[in-house]
């Protein structure tokens, strides 16, 4: 079970983190306020905001997305193997794998809690101690983290439910 979980976590984690970054930077499309998370992460190490700092921040962010995807995957795998009947919110019957919307809904709820926790921790650690003044905005950080983590949770649980069904089926990897 380790290899399917690892493969699914890398794939689902990269996809979901990409969705998360999309939601973080979405306000740029209407010139709204946003929190430059990739710049903030990279500049906390390099002490400057440039392409190199954002690249470093992106590496850290996507590595963290894969790390957290393992926990979401473990929960998804446990639910898939559970003998207890889960809510069946199936769409698109007849596909090779079951598309149950219960998983992304559960992921959104878990992502909400995850986002609140991360926003709280980042507010204390990053905002209070960031070396650059421009990354000390509390409100926009909290809002962006909560919204993006809800998107991450829904996406990662959806893709885990799909990938793990394929990887753990008798004909799977």
Each domain of the chain, given as residue ranges in start order, spans 2-168
Tell me the pLDDT tens digit for each residue of 121-169: 877 777 776 666 666 666 777 888 899 999 999 999 999 999 999 998 7
Cα–Cα distances (Å) from 115 to 95, 122, 147, in that order, read 32, 10, 7
Q: Which tokens go with 170?
A: 């008798």
Could you tell me what percentage of the chain is helix, strand and coil, using 3-state DSSP and rounding each to the nearest 5?
75, 0, 20
Q: Which tokens go with 79?
A: 């639910």
Q: Is-contact 154 15, C-beta < 8 A?
A: no
Q: Which tokens go with 80?
A: 């898939």
Q: What is the largest CA-CA distance in the chain?
A: 55
Of 102, 80, 95, whose CA–CA distance to 164 is shortest?
Answer: 80
Tell me the pLDDT tens digit for each residue of 48-57: 889 999 999 9
Write down the pTM of the prediction.
0.88
Return the DSSP state at 66.
H
Tell me the pLDDT tens digit for each residue of 57-111: 999 999 999 999 999 999 999 998 887 777 888 788 777 788 999 999 999 999 9
């Amino acid at each position: 079970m380790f290899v399917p979980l690892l493969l699914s976590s890398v794939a689902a984690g990269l996809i979901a983190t990409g969705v998360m970054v999309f939601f973080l930077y979405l306000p740029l499309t209407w010139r709204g306020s946003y929190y430059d998370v990739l710049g903030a992460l990279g500049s906390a190490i390099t002490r400057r905001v440039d392409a190199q700092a954002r690249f470093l921040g992106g590496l850290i962010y996507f590595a963290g997305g894969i790390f957290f995807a393992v926990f979401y995957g473990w929960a998804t795998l446990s639910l898939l193997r559970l003998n207890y009947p889960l809510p069946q919110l199936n769409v698109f019957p007849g596909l090779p794998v079951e598309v149950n919307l219960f998983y992304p809904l559960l992921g959104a709820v878990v992502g909400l809690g995850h986002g609140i926790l991360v926003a709280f921790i980042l507010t204390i650690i990053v905002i209070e101690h960031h070396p650059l003044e421009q990354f000390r905005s509390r409100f926009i950080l909290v809002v962006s983290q909560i919204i993006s983590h809800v998107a991450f949770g829904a996406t990662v649980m959806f893709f885990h439910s799909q990938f793990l069904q394929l990887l753990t089926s008798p004909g799977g990897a």
